[in-house]
Amino acid sequence: MILQSKYFVALTGAGMSTESGLPDFRSHGGLWYGKNPYEIASPKAIGTSEFIAFYRNRIEDLQQYRPNIGHQILAKWEKAGYLKAILTQNIDGFHQQAGSQHVIEVHGHLRHLICTECQRAYPADSYRKGIEKCMEERCNGNLRPPIVLFGEELNPDSWSSAVQEVEKADAILVLGTSLTVYPFAGLVELAKETGARIAIINKTETELDHLADIIVHDSIGKVLGEVDQALSG
């Protein structure tokens, strides 16, 4: 499928990064004061101690983990000219760390914080240093990561870039997402409508397996490693 394609893109989700050992967002559920992570990761929680603790922990988690072989293979395929873009739900930045250049982060990232009022950027370790409010004179806005919280709209620019990539694609590879979160999962439906071939690699069944030409329920790193060997051989 990759060799026959003219414009091949990858869509990635949490399963891509759990193979690095990074805890899944949902697996933090029980740890947070018995509260629902979906409530903590919401706009109305910005500025609360739970919100700050949650994202301080997420940012610190990232420093303890590294991109895995799956991220590295995608970066290699981009350099080799096979892969044109990665559209990711992940906010961990692992694709870029692995060397991928064309990455569209439709749910944002944790590389820095921004002021909710004046949009000034602050270093990602600001929470750890006790900086929780904007220091601009008379601003005092809350700091937050530039990510899409539950109930928030996607960034229209990154979303339209993602849609354009899928419209150009004649082959898409879906990695590590159960395709339950919309509008992201809608990209796979769009790919089907525009006639792209679809491959899904995920440990478990996904909501959109019925749209795929190729489905593999297995570890991403293992399967991509085998495909990479076949491409190289």
Shortest CB 144 distance to Zn ion, Å: 11
Q: Cα(87)–Cα(71) distance, rounded to whole angstroms? A: 13
Shortest CB 131 distance to Zn ion, Å: 12
Shortest CB 141 distance to Zn ion, Å: 4
**Known catalytic residue at 71:** no
For residue 204, give both structure tokens: 């478990």
Can residue 135 be called a binding residue for Zn ion (CB under 5 A)? no
Kindly tell me the number of DSSP H helices and DSSP E strands found in the chain: 8, 9
For residue 134, give both structure tokens: 């904007």
In terms of Cβ atoms closer than 10 Å to its own Cβ (0-12, 13-18, 19+), residue 225 is middle
Angstrom distances, CA of residue 166 to CA of 26, 140, 147: 27, 40, 22
In terms of Cβ atoms closer than 10 Å to its own Cβ (0-12, 13-18, 19+), residue 61 is middle
Shortest CB 128 distance to Zn ion, Å: 19
In this complex, which beta carbon is closest to Zn ion, that of residue 139 or of residue 230?
139
What is the β-pairing status of strands 143-144 and 112-115? antiparallel
- Binds Zn ion by CB under 5 A, chosen from 50, 117, 132, 167: 117
In this complex, which beta carbon is closest to Zn ion, that of residue 21 or of residue 43?
43
Read off the DSSP letter of residue 183. T
- Residues at the binding site for Zn(2+) are 115, 118, 134, 139
Can residue 115 be called a binding residue for Zn ion (CB under 5 A)? yes
Can residue 75 be called a binding residue for Zn ion (CB under 5 A)? no
Q: Is the dihedral angle over the CA atoms 24, 29, 32, 38 positive or is it negative?
A: positive
Q: 140 — alpha (psi -120 to 50), left (phi > 0) or beta?
A: left
Shortest CB 106 distance to Zn ion, Å: 25
Catalytically annotated residue among 71, 95, 107, 109: 107
Can residue 132 be called a binding residue for Zn ion (CB under 5 A)? no
Count, residues near Zn ion per rule CB under 5 A: 8
Can residue 139 be called a binding residue for Zn ion (CB under 5 A)? yes
Can residue 114 be called a binding residue for Zn ion (CB under 5 A)? no
In this complex, which beta carbon is closest to Zn ion, that of residue 142 or of residue 161?
142
- Binds Zn ion by CB under 5 A, chosen from 39, 60, 136, 205: 136
- Binds Zn ion by CB under 5 A, chosen from 74, 98, 134, 220: 134
Instruction: Write out the residues near Zn ion by the rule CB under 5 A.
Output: 115, 117-118, 120, 134, 136, 139, 141
